Homo-oligomer: A and B are copies of this chain.
Amino acid sequence: MPPSNILDAIIAQSKLSKKETAKQQKIVEAAIALFAERGYANTSTSEIAKKSGVAEGTLFRHYGTKENLLLSVIVPFLKESIPFLAKEVFTDVNPRNYKSFELFIGALLRNRIAFLNENQDIFRVVLKELLYRDELRNELFPHLQSQLFFFLNDALEWFKELGQLKDLPNPVLLRLIMTSVASYLAVRYVLSPNREADDDAEVKTMVDFITGGVGKD
């Protein structure tokens, strides 16, 4: 494996497994559930095989190693989850369509909440493994950051022009906004998963906080 670039390796890997058989889907499904429930290290390949109704050998025929199976689980998620890679969110939540920064951030939050509602399990897997895997994280973060920057730089400039954003450097703004959004999502989906949420109220609270803080004018 020549590439020092893990992301490339991951993407290449994901392209290799073009056709997914029914059994492969079952395997991935079971892997997601088990990894999310007890973590990668605490899940054995035999358990995955059992849960997916497949022989252990089948699992290794398709994925070679347990590590590789993890990547096959994480990669498709990342490809959708680093959304600014895909054009979807771009067009779905286009800053130019929003007259105020509040509305834009609100839409962005709603978009990501909807996505995570559909992907809670795998989100947990990804988050946990990102904590454990330094190399993956070290490659992913700059990549993520530059993608976010590429997408949001424009948006930030747009709302600065409209006079709705403080005149802070864009990287600083980006960091403040994204860590707020991320920590909200992390608490909501990972740390307190069972809670029922009033989306409208919560989004409003977060948007108000991000734009106006807690201080009195």
Contact = CB atoms under 8 A, between A and B. Distances in A.
B183 A180 contact: yes
A3 B111 CA distance: 43
> How many subunits of this chain does the assembly comprise?
2
A39 B132 contact: yes
Interface string A147-191: 000000000000000011110100011001101101110110011
A212 interface: yes
Interface residues of A, number: 44
A192 interface: yes
A112 interface: no
Given A168-B214, A177-B214, A179-B183, 20 more contacts: A39-B41, A101-B214, A102-B215, A124-B131, A128-B131, A128-B132, A131-B131, A141-B192, A164-B216, A165-B214, A166-B216, A168-B205, A173-B214, A176-B214, A179-B187, A183-B183, A183-B186, A210-B213, A211-B213, A211-B215
A103 interface: no
Contact of A166 (B163, B211, B215): B215
Contact of A141 (B141, B173, B191, B209): B191
Interface string A187-210: 100111000000000000100111
Nearest to A181: B183
